[in-house]
Amino acid sequence: MGSPASAVSSLVRPRPALLALAYLAFVSLGLPDAVLGLAWPSLRVTFALPQVGMGAILATSAMAYFASGMFAGRLLRALHVGRLLALSTALVALGLFGYATVPVFVLFLGAACFIGFGSGAIDATLNTYAARNFGPKHMTWLHAAYSIGATLGPVLMTTLLARGAGWRAGYATLGGILALLALVFLAMRQRWTRAPDASEAPAETSVTPTATALEALRRPRVRLQSLIFFFYVGVEVTAGQWSYTVLTEGRGLGTAEAGTWVSLYWGSLFVGRVLSGFVVERLGPVRMLRGSMVLAVLAALLFAVPALPPALGLGLLGLAIAPIYPALMSETPRRVGGDVAAHAVGFQVSAGTVGIAVLPSAAGFVAERFGIAFVAPQLLAYTVVLALLHGVLTATAD
DSSP string, 25-36: HHHHHHTTTT-H
Confidence of residue 105 (pLDDT cuts 50, 70, 90): very high
* Residue 8: inside a domain: no
Distance of alpha carbon 232 from alpha carbon 210, whole angstroms: 28
Q: What domain count does the chain have? A: 1
Confidence of residue 359 (pLDDT cuts 50, 70, 90): very high
* Residue 210: inside a domain: no
Q: Which residues of 181-194 are buried (b: 16+ CB within 10 A; e: fewer)?
A: bbebbeebbebbee
Nearest one of 326, 89, 301, 99 to 229, comparing CA atoms: 326
Cα 143 to Cα 11, 108, 193, 286: the distances in Å are 19, 28, 22, 17
User: What is the pLDDT averaged over residues 318-339?
Assistant: 86
Provide the CATH number for the domain around residue 232.
1.20.1250.20
Domain residues for 365? 14-193+215-397
What pLDDT was estimated at residue 390?
A: 94
Cα angle at 149 between 70 and 132, to 5 degrees? 45
* Residue 3: inside a domain: no
End-to-end CA distance of the chain: give it in Å, rounded. 11
Asked if pLDDT for residue 124 goes beyond 90, the answer is no
Confidence of residue 388 (pLDDT cuts 50, 70, 90): very high
Distance of alpha carbon 152 from alpha carbon 266, whole angstroms: 9
Of 220 and 225, the structure prediction assigns the larger pLDDT to 225
What pLDDT was estimated at residue 13?
A: 61
Residue 179 dihedral angles phi and psi, to the nearest 5°: -65, -40
Contacts with 34 (C-beta within 8 Å, 6 or more apart), sequence order: 150, 151, 153, 154, 240, 241, 262, 266
User: Please, how many CA atoms are within 13 Å of residue 151, restricted to the half-sphere of its CB?
Assistant: 18
What pLDDT was estimated at residue 108?
A: 95
Helix axes 105-133 and 324-336, enclosed angle (nearest 10): 60
Residue 305 dihedral angles phi and psi, to the nearest 5°: -95, 105
Asked if pLDDT for residue 128 goes beyond 90, the answer is no
* Residue 201: inside a domain: no
Confidence of residue 66 (pLDDT cuts 50, 70, 90): confident
* Residue 203: inside a domain: no
Cα 292 to Cα 146, 179, 230, 273, 334: the distances in Å are 19, 35, 17, 11, 20
Asked if pLDDT for residue 92 goes beyond 90, the answer is yes
Confidence of residue 85 (pLDDT cuts 50, 70, 90): confident
Asked if pLDDT for residue 396 goes beyond 80, the answer is no
What pLDDT was estimated at residue 299?
A: 96
Q: What percent of the chain has pLDDT over 90?
A: 30
Asked if pLDDT for residue 2 goes beyond 50, the answer is no
Transcribe 73-91 into DSSP letters.
HHHHHHHHHHHHHHHHHHH
What pLDDT was estimated at residue 6?
A: 40
pLDDT tens digits, residue range 38-64? 898 889 999 998 877 887 888 888 788
Phi-psi region of 85 (alpha: psi -120 to 50; beta: other; left: phi over 0): alpha
Asked if pLDDT for residue 125 goes beyond 70, the answer is yes
* Residue 140: inside a domain: yes
Asked if pLDDT for residue 3 goes beyond 50, the answer is no
User: What is the pLDDT averaged over residues 209-213?
Assistant: 58
What pLDDT was estimated at residue 205?
A: 41
* Residue 276: inside a domain: yes
Cα 126 to Cα 17, 22, 23, 221, 229: the distances in Å are 15, 7, 10, 21, 16
Asked if pLDDT for residue 383 goes beyond 50, the answer is yes
Of 319 and 213, the structure prediction assigns the larger pLDDT to 319
pLDDT tens digits, residue range 256-304? 888 888 888 988 888 898 999 888 888 888 899 999 999 999 999 999 9
* Residue 202: inside a domain: no
Predicted structure pTM score? 0.71
What pLDDT was estimated at residue 177?
A: 93
What pLDDT was estimated at residue 167?
A: 93
* Residue 128 contacts residue 5 (beta carbons within 8 Å): no
